[in-house]
Amino acid sequence: MTAEPLAPHTLYPTAGGIAAATSDLSKAYGSGDTRVVALDGVGITFREGEFTAIMGPSGSGKSTLMHCAAGLDSFDSGSVRIGTTELSTLNDRQLTQLRRDRIGFVFQAFNLLPTLSALENITLPMTLAGRRPDQQWLDRVVAMVGLGDRLGHRPAQLSGGQQQRVAVARALASRPAIVFADEPTGNLDSRAGAEVLGFLRDSARELGQSVVMVTHDPVAAGYADRAVFLADGRLVDEMARPTPERVLDLMKGFDARPRTS
C-alpha cells in the first residue's frame, strides 16, 4: 500500500472502509436577522456497508447534512469526503462526475421526470452516464420495489407511494458507493415502507451497500445499523443497533429537555 493520493475519477478507493465522512461541517442560510445556522460543526463518518438513520426534529439540519455530504449543496466551512476524495479538491465537472458515479440520492420530493416511464426514470442516471445497467441487479431492484406491470407508466399515473419506490430504485440501480435517502418511506403505507426498508437493509448487509437515511419514524430507524440524532445543526446522540422502543425513549427524552432559548 502506498500513501500516494490517487487521482479522483480514475479510481475511487475507500480508506479504512469509509464510504463518506464530514469534518466540522458548518453551513448557514441568510444573513443578519434572518441568518439560520443549519449545520454547526458536524463530524460524522459513514462506514462501507453500514445503514445509518439520521433523526432529529424538523429544521434540525438533516436534509442540509445529506445534501452537503452528497455534494449537492455548498457549505461554509469544514470538509466532506466520499471514499478518499475530498470534495473541495474537485472542480464542478469532477463533482458532477463523482455524484453520478458514486452517489445515489432519494429526495424528500421524488424529483422524477414526468415525461419518462417508471423504468426509464430508474435507468436514467446510467443512460446519462452511458453505462449499461447490471441486468441481474436491476431486475432485483425492480422486483423489490414491486412495480410489476406499472413500469411503463409515467409518474403522474402512479400513486405517491409508487413514485417514491421508483425514486428509491433509481438511487440503487447503478449500485453507487453510497445511497443518501431523505425520508424514503415518508409517503408510503406501512407495508410498502417495510419493503423499501427491508431492501435498504438487505442491500447493506448482503451487498455492502452503504446507506444513509433520514427518517422521523422510530420503526424505520429500527432497520438501520445505527441511528444518529441531530438538534439545532449539531450531532447530539448516537445509538448502535437501534430498536423502535429505544429510539422512542431517546426522542421522549429530547422532548422533555428544557429549552435553553
Binding residues for Mg ion (CB under 5 A): 63
C-alpha cell at 96: 458532477
187 binds ligand ATP (CB under 6 A): no
Name which of 177, 183, 254, 259 is nearest 221 in CA terms: 183
- Residue 125 touching ligand ATP (CB under 6 A): no
Pairing between β-strand 77-82 and β-strand 85-86 as defined by DSSP bridges: antiparallel
Could you say whether residue 207 binds ligand ATP (CB under 6 A)? Answer: no
SS3 of 110-124: CCCCCCCCHHHHHHH
Q: Which is nearer to ligand ATP, 33 or 206 (CB)?
A: 33
Size of the site for ligand ATP (CB under 6 A): 12
For ligand ATP, which stretch binds (CB under 6 A), given 60-68, 128-136, 173-181, 191-199?
A: 60-68
The residue from 12, 26, 48, 59 that contacts ligand ATP (CB under 6 A) is 59
Q: Is 41 in the site for ligand ATP (CB under 6 A)?
A: no
Partner whose binding site includes residue 36, from ligand ATP, Mg ion, none (CB under 5 to 8 Å by kind):
ligand ATP
Give whole-number Cα distances, 31 to 36, 75, 93, in Å: 8, 14, 29
C-alpha cell of residue 204: 447493506
Q: Which does 43 bind (CB under 5 to 8 A by kind): Mg ion, ligand ATP, none?
A: none
Cβ–Cβ under 8 Å, residues 182 and 62: yes
**CA nearest neighbour of 101 among 125, 118, 79:** 125
How many residues does the structure list for the chain? 261
Among 14, 22, 52, 63, indicate the residue that binds ligand ATP (CB under 6 A).
63
User: Out of 5, 17, 30, 253, which residue is the one contacting ligand ATP (CB under 6 A)?
Assistant: 30
Residues that bind ligand ATP (CB under 6 A): 29-30, 36, 38, 56, 58-64
